[in-house]
Amino acid sequence: MSEKIISIESIHPLDIFGVNDQNLEALRAHFPKLKIVSRDNFIKALGEAADLLAFEEQVTALVLHVEKFGRLTKADITRLLGSEFNGQPMTPEGHGDVLVHGKNGMLIRARTANQKKLVESSEKNDLVFAIGPAGTGKTYTAVALAVRALKNKEIQRIILTRPAVEAGENLGFLPGDLKEKLDPYLQPLYDALKDMLPGTKLLSYIEDNTIEIAPLAFMRGRTLNNAFVLLDEAQNTTPSQLKMFLTRMGSSAKFIVTGDVTQIDLPRNQTSGLIHAQSILRAIPGIDFIYLDNSDIIRHKLVGRIITAYGEGK
């Protein structure tokens, strides 16, 4: 006999269990072979593996419905438990390739061929470089992979970092202490996390250091064990900085390095560590390079045209 515990912390338990547990009783009736128990913000089931898999899919569908519509009626329960689908469990569209169930019913998945290559490569390799222009989803996909690994308890921590190199601005003239100066620069990483985790949970993870977002300089001298680590904007590292970062890898760690070699903000006399790494690390087993291009751009359609125009020197 196996056990499955499903967290429902993103919604209020009453919204899914129903008044007097009427929705929970419907689940029990639908899965008579399982022993189903609810406790605050999680639901536990005991039974055979095949039944537990179907149960998890159904509960996921119910949670997503509540997140999207804010309620779960008796008719919704009947429909979602499959009576209108010839008894077949209803799962969210494309559930099998979903990386993270985000806020408000958002299904976060790899959306392009090269994003899918990034996902597949990360599952096979402990160090992956994702290189491509702005808007190709390389950072967003990498953050989703990190959140998935944390939710699946594959790692204990997420560490997200960027080199503190300014794109034409000067952080020294910004008001506030060091954290207040750097937080706006690290904001894209916060934005991605806010799509994937409830606000209170994200704040809790940051406060207890389960999720750390910090400048690259803060990585020096550390060993990063049992962590999913993302270095973003790696084109703005020097070779020595990137070497320092890569050699922080500890046991049971997964690293993804992202960057855009067309937007290097280093002084003209400095070599980008991301360009240098491509020439010396490519042949090492366990390291992979994934290249994204204009076909992967998922922002406004004009972004692709703008990048093409700048590439052509217009």
At how many degrees (to 10) do helices 199-207 and 178-196 cross? 130
Q: Are 65 and 187 found together in one domain?
A: no
Q: b or e along 286-296 (b: 16 or more beta carbons within 10 Å of the residue's beta carbon)?
A: ebbbbebeeeb
Q: Are 289 and 188 found together in one domain?
A: yes
Q: What per-residue confidence (pLDDT) applies to 264?
A: 93
Residue 307 belongs to domain with CATH number: 3.40.50.300
The model's pTM is 0.66
Contact in structure between 198 and 10 (CB atoms under 8 Å): yes
Q: Are 145 and 65 found together in one domain?
A: no
Q: What per-residue confidence (pLDDT) applies to 156?
A: 95
Q: What per-residue confidence (pLDDT) applies to 286?
A: 94
**Of the residues 92, 114, 147, the one at which a domain ends:** 92
pLDDT digit string (tens) for 210-243?
999 988 988 999 999 999 999 999 999 999 999 9
Measured distance CA(207)–CA(223) in Å, rounded: 20
Which residue reads 């269990």 in tokens? Answer: 17
Burial of 201 (0-12, 13-18, 19+ CB in 10 A): middle
Q: What per-residue confidence (pLDDT) applies to 301?
A: 65
On whether residue 273 sits in a domain, the answer given is yes
Q: What per-residue confidence (pLDDT) applies to 302?
A: 77
How many other C-beta atoms can be found within 10 angstroms of the C-beta atom of residue 145? 23
Name the β-bridge partners of 37.
Answer: 44
Q: How many domains does the chain have?
A: 2
pLDDT digit string (tens) for 103-139?
766 778 888 889 999 999 999 999 999 999 988 999 9
Domain with 85 in it: 2-92
Q: What per-residue confidence (pLDDT) applies to 145?
A: 96
**Of the residues 57, 92, 127, the one at which a domain ends:** 92
Contact in structure between 157 and 230 (CB atoms under 8 Å): no
Q: Are 130 and 178 found together in one domain?
A: yes
Q: What per-residue confidence (pLDDT) applies to 89?
A: 37
| Residue numbers of the chain with a pLDDT score lower than 50 | 83-96, 166-171, 173-175, 177-178
Residue 80 belongs to domain with CATH number: 3.30.1370.10
Q: What per-residue confidence (pLDDT) applies to 136?
A: 92
In 3-state terms, what secondary structure has residue 214?
strand
Q: What per-residue confidence (pLDDT) applies to 303?
A: 73
Contact in structure between 250 and 127 (CB atoms under 8 Å): no
Q: Are 149 and 211 found together in one domain?
A: yes
Which residue reads 């547990």 in tokens? Answer: 21
Q: Are 87 and 119 found together in one domain?
A: no
Name the β-bridge partners of 214.
Answer: 161
